[in-house]
Amino acid sequence: MRKLCLWAGSTLLGIGLAAIGANLVLGYLGYSASYNLGDPAKFEFVLVPLWQIGIAIAAIGGGCLLWSRRLAP
């Protein structure tokens, strides 16, 4: 279980940091990266910036890494 938490945590942390880095690069190029959580058929647009999604994924990964330290080897 410890190896699974360690593997999942490092993978999620890497994905989160990659999303934050992609947002920084796209912001430098003049683009705004966001994900639509609304329903475009009803003209509902709830745009969430990519950096917020990256922080959430990285926080979950960091939590998994901390949890893997608390598990017995």
Ordered by start, the domain boundaries in the chain are 2-70
Instruction: State how far the Cα of 50 lies from the Cα of 56, in Å rounded to an integer.
Output: 10
Query: Whole-model pTM?
Result: 0.85
When pLDDT is cut at 50, 70 and 90, the band that residue 57 belongs to is: very high
5 pLDDT exceeds 80? yes
Instruction: State how far the Cα of 33 lies from the Cα of 48, in Å rounded to an integer.
Output: 9
pLDDT computed for residue 70 by the predictor:
85
pLDDT tens-place string over residues 6-48: 999 999 999 999 999 999 999 999 999 999 998 888 888 999 9
Instruction: State how far the Cα of 55 lies from the Cα of 44, in Å rounded to an integer.
Output: 24
Burial of 4 (0-12, 13-18, 19+ CB in 10 A): exposed
